[in-house]
A and B are shown apart, each in its own frame.
Chain A
Amino acid sequence: EAAVTQSPRNKVTVTGGNVTLSCRQTNSHNYMYWYRQDTGHGLRLIHYSYGAGNLQIGDVPDGYKATRTTQEDFFLLLELASPSQTSLYFCASSAGTEVFFGKGTRLTVV
């Protein structure tokens, strides 16, 4: 069974704060993704990666950085969090076609 683990599952931070969301996959997949999910918008791609050290820009990258340190680990960084970044964030991995998702991190910026 493909496994994508996100941490933390819930996070509250203040406006202007610094937040790192973590993701680890044990699927040996090359591709990893960060999405945000918002009512009325569905799943929107923030950043993705083909492998360690690689980063590609998604559709809604503003205000986010990401880093892929190993094949297994992909991090999403919010260096100056804003209330508009309050959302449910999903990490996912893929070998090329089917995408496997984690359970999500709910981030609230107050």
Chain B
Amino acid sequence: DAKTTQPNSMESNEEEPVHLPCNHSTISGTDYIHWYRQLPSQGPEYVIHGLTSNVNNRMASLAIAEDRKSSTLILHRATLRDAAVYYCILRDPYSGAGSYQLTFGKGTKLSVIP
């Protein structure tokens, strides 16, 4: 599976936008970019995913570079509840049973300052 690189930690002020970067320079043409987050003492939860075009949902936006070698998760207004570890994960639907597992790295720990 292609590897992702994320900063270990980031800080944001409450109610300000947050841009969480992810580098995936070895991404294949069929890899989907998924983001999950894990709040303290909870299991991970799905945030958003995309293939080539930018995506928006009620939680966040995903901006994908034109060459797909990087992406950015955007939280439009950070709240204290957004303090979590954010994971950027690549999934290849053509890798058989292995396409179903999520391969987590260490993620980015986001701290939100009141």
The answer to whether A and B belong to the same complex is no
Partner-B contacts on A (CB < 8 A) = none
Partner-A contacts on B (CB < 8 A) = none
